[in-house]
Amino acid sequence: MFGFIKRKQKIAPEAEIAAAKKQPQSEDNTTDLSHSLEKTKRTLSDGMADFFLGKKSINSDLLDELETHLLSADVGIDATTIIIDELQSNISRKAISDAESLHLKLAEIMKSILQPCEQPLNTDSAKPFVILVVGINGAGKTTSIGKLAHHFMQQGKSVLLAAGDTFRAAAVEQLQEWGNRNDVPVISQGTGADPASVIFDAVASASSKNIDIVIADTAGRLHTQDNLMAELAKIKRVLGKIDANAPHETLIVMDASFGQNALHQAQQFHNSIGLTGMAVTKLDGTAKGGILFSIAKTLNLPVRFIGVGEGINDLRPFNASEFVDALLE
């Protein structure tokens, strides 16, 4: 199924944007999502087909098997235990008797685990609403900012981007390309500039132009790099001088393919600078999509968006029900 859609290789930002322009827009999001989550789906359901086709009876062997699959997909111990225990108790009191009722119950439990993370980002509380984007190198920050700009523009909002990754010249250029692509202004001061100053200027400029949303890029960093974490804290402090509530969203972008490690990184970022939301990227390229369940059980943070590809439309607001339906489809 869908074998004609080939995975793209890592490519330069220019080519990536050109490719994004050609992305077809599908109206059927669930089918799309289901296709994007193919690798995780396979891990979850490998060897389970016989069962879901009703050819295997419901017993503890089956639950053991399901448990292994859930753990392999990085659903994590806590969420897996909840799922298996709940299924077991339903089986014991005969509330589940066939493949269909198990499928329905499994979906219901999985949705209930993810539901608390479904808190869409509302940008109406401030103008400009400032989103500070943080995370490790390569997580997908800049790409996600490009997609986010598109997302907000489609909602009729005006957007301005701040090139706060001043570490490498290429980073500013990459953001500028996304700015061109979306036809939104990009405020930058070039390589080596103080990111706090760039982002401060961007917010001041957005205020004067009556722009709705500022999205600020930052250089990738590890939570162990104290000086770089202090730099993020400084950005937040400086922004607070314009608006005590800014940044209104501190969004970590994390790469799902890092699985439990990404979770650990996010926890450390949260402890160090305080996060208000997450965007989980590259769910299309990994079998570790179950990480969202781990996130739900261990990090008390909203998952605002999920990234399911490299194209401009491949970032979507997180919807727990849609996600589980796509996984179990």
Ligand X SMILES: Nc1nc2c(ncn2[C@@H]2O[C@H](COP(=O)(O)OP(=O)(O)O)[C@@H](O)[C@H]2O)c(=O)[nH]1
Summarize as ranges the residues that interact with Mg ion (CB under 5 A). 141-142
Closest separation in Å from C-beta 77 to ligand X: 26
Closest separation in Å from C-beta 14 to ligand X: 12
Query: Is the Cβ of residue 139 or residue 291 nearer to ligand X in the bound state?
Result: 139
d(CA 107, CA 165): 40
Query: Is the Cβ of residue 175 or residue 211 nearer to Mg ion in the bound state?
Result: 175
* Displacement of CA 261 from its chain's centroid (Å): 15
- Under the binding rule (CB under 6 A), the answer on residue 302 touching ligand X is no
- Under the binding rule (CB under 6 A), the answer on residue 10 touching ligand X is yes
- Under the binding rule (CB under 6 A), the answer on residue 311 touching ligand X is no
Closest alpha carbon to 290 in 264, 327, 315, 238:
327
Please, which residues have CB within 8 angstroms of residue 75's CB and are 6 or more apart in sequence? Answer: 83, 290, 291, 293, 294
Query: Is the Cβ of residue 218 or residue 286 nearer to Mg ion in the bound state?
Result: 218
Q: Which residue is nearest to Mg ion (CB)?
A: 142
Which span (97-105, 121-129, 130-138, 227-235) binds ligand X, by CB under 6 A? 130-138
Question: For ligand X, how many residues bind (rule: CB under 6 A)?
Answer: 21
Task: Give the x-and-dash track for 13-32 against ligand X (CB under 6 A).
Answer: ---x----------------
- Under the binding rule (CB under 6 A), the answer on residue 164 touching ligand X is no
Which two tokens mark 293?
């369940």
* Contacting residue, 31, 57, 137, 271, with ligand X by CB under 6 A: 137
Q: Cβ-count burial of 89 within 10 angstroms (0-12 exposed, 13-18 middle, 19+ buried)?
A: exposed
User: 102 vs 54, 59, 63, 109, CA distance in Å?
Assistant: 10, 11, 11, 10
**DSSP labels for 76-122?**
-HHHHHHHHHHHHHHHHTTS--SHHHHHHHHHHHHHHHHGGG--PPP
- Under the binding rule (CB under 6 A), the answer on residue 282 touching ligand X is yes
Closest separation in Å from C-beta 314 to ligand X: 6
Query: Is the Cβ of residue 141 or residue 147 nearer to Mg ion in the bound state?
Result: 141
User: 311 vs 29, 163, 248, 307, CA distance in Å?
Assistant: 14, 20, 26, 9
Beta-sheet strands, E only, within 192-287: 213-216, 249-255, 277-281
Residue 310 interacts with, from Mg ion, ligand X, none (CB under 5-8 Å by kind) = ligand X
| 33 CB neighbour count, 10 Å cutoff | 22
In the chain, the amino acid numbered 299 is: L
d(CA 130, CA 128): 6
Residue 139 interacts with, from Mg ion, ligand X, none (CB under 5-8 Å by kind) = ligand X
Q: List strands edge to edge, sheet with 315-317.
A: 186-187, 159-162, 213-216, 129-134, 249-255, 277-281, 303-307, 315-317
Closest separation in Å from C-beta 298 to Mg ion: 26
Query: Is the Cβ of residue 142 or residue 286 nearer to Mg ion in the bound state?
Result: 142
Residue 282 interacts with, from ligand X, Mg ion, none (CB under 5-8 Å by kind) = ligand X
Query: Is the Cβ of residue 118 or residue 314 nearer to ligand X in the bound state?
Result: 314
- Under the binding rule (CB under 6 A), the answer on residue 179 touching ligand X is no
Query: Is the Cβ of residue 90 or residue 142 nearer to Mg ion in the bound state?
Result: 142
State the residues that interact with ligand X by CB under 6 A.
10, 16, 135, 137-143, 220, 253, 281-282, 284-285, 307-310, 314
